[in-house]
């Protein structure tokens, strides 16, 4: 019994130009595309052809393979395998492992996984930390944000290479507001400290005896950060003021003691995205946890300081910090 079939007639406008191309014309067009020029296309097509021949040579199974889907293979070959290095880990690590004659043929190769996890991880960084989960953005704003982030990452990478040959050191200080603003005495100039021996400074500033702010000086990039756990919108303005004060402080040190360490650094204000406290008592926990995350990331600068501000987590952090300090004190 023959069933009726509906056939739609296409107009001339709906017909693709490729429909009337000869095989030679199609081959010439494909040879000018990314798919046609990529060496990975020919490699994976050869693998696919070998696999197809191997399957054809096998005896037919009585039971059909429910997962057999040639369309998936064709889609991968036509659209994705030509750009295989862009969505896999193929180009990561020691590239000499792909050479016809490896440099050290006697050494055992490490197991690798050429997956797209690296690309997915980068997309997560872009969405959550660079774009801050903003889904709608003008192209110009997107490009500026990406340029700023990539420029900073490039500087961080160069800084990491610089610090490979010498240990990383930081100095910590606790200051009152007037100490951050005026350093007129010999005692406040800290003349026994050679800042050139350090790569950064972390500090805690107490404001009005009831609130703590976090201070971070990053010497390799000459950046300074003032972070308020309760008011992130004021961070940049406070940092601008602090940058002027610290430049003045190191000039005062030179005038008083003739010390040139960090004298020529042009401190620039910068900010780090961070979560905020929900109460009026956890600022001390916040600044200490910020210091911990900064030290763990150093010499890289974290893009975000993420602290869970729920009451249960703050209580747990207090207990952990108290226990760690008591154990360190012996």
Domain-wise residue ranges, the chain: 117-155, 168-329
Q: Domain 168-329 - what CATH class?
A: alpha beta
Q: Give the separation between CA 23 and CA 30, rounded to whole angstroms.
A: 11
For each of the chain's 330 residues, which pLDDT tens digit applies? 444 444 454 455 544 544 444 545 545 545 678 888 888 888 888 998 888 888 888 887 777 778 878 888 888 888 888 888 887 777 777 777 777 776 665 555 555 566 667 777 788 888 887 887 888 888 888 888 888 778 767 766 665 555 444 444 555 554 544 444 444 444 555 677 888 888 888 889 888 878 899 999 998 899 999 999 988 888 999 999 999 988 888 888 888 878 888 888 889 999 999 999 988 888 999 999 999 899 888 888 988 999 988 888 888 888 888 888 777 765
pTM: 0.47
Q: What pLDDT shows up at residue 228?
A: 92
């Amino acid at each position: 019994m023959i069933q009726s079939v509906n056939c739609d007639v296409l107009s001339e406008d709906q017909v693709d130009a490729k429909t009337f191309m000869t095989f030679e014309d199609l081959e010439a067009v494909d040879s000018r595309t990314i798919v046609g020029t990529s060496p990975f296309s020919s490699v994976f097509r050869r693998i696919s052809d070998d696999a197809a021949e191997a399957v054809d040579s096998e005896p037919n199974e009585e039971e059909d393979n429910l997962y057999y889907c040639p369309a998936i293979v064709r889609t991968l070959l036509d659209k994705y395998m030509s750009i295989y290095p862009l969505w896999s880990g193929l180009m990561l690590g020691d590239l000499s492992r792909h050479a016809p004659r490896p440099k050290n043929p006697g050494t055992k190769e490490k197991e690798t996984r050429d997956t797209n996890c690296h690309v997915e991880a980068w997309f997560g960084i872009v969405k959550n930390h660079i774009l801050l989960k903003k889904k709608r953005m003008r192209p110009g704003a997107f490009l500026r944000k990406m340029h700023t982030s990539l420029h900073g990452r490039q500087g961080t990478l160069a800084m990491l290479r610089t610090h490979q040959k010498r240990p990383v050191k930081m100095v910590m200080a606790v200051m009152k507001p007037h100490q951050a603003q005026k350093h007129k005495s010999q005692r406040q100039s800290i003349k026994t400290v050679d800042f050139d021996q350090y790569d950064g400074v972390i500090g805690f500033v107490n404001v009005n005896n009831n609130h703590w702010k976090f201070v971070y000086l990053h010497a390799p990039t000459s950046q300074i950060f003032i972070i308020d756990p309760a008011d992130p919108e004021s961070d940049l303005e406070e940092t601008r003021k602090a940058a002027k004060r610290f430049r003045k402080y190191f000039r005062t040190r030179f005038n008083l003691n003739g010390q040139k360490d960090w004298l020529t650094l042009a401190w620039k204000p910068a900010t780090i995205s961070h979560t905020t406290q929900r109460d009026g008592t956890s600022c001390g926990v916040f600044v200490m946890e910020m210091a911990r995350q900064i030290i763990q990331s150093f010499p890289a600068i974290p893009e975000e300081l993420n602290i869970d501000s729920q009451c249960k987590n703050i209580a747990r952090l207090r207990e952990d910090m108290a226990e760690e300090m008591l154990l360190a004190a012996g």
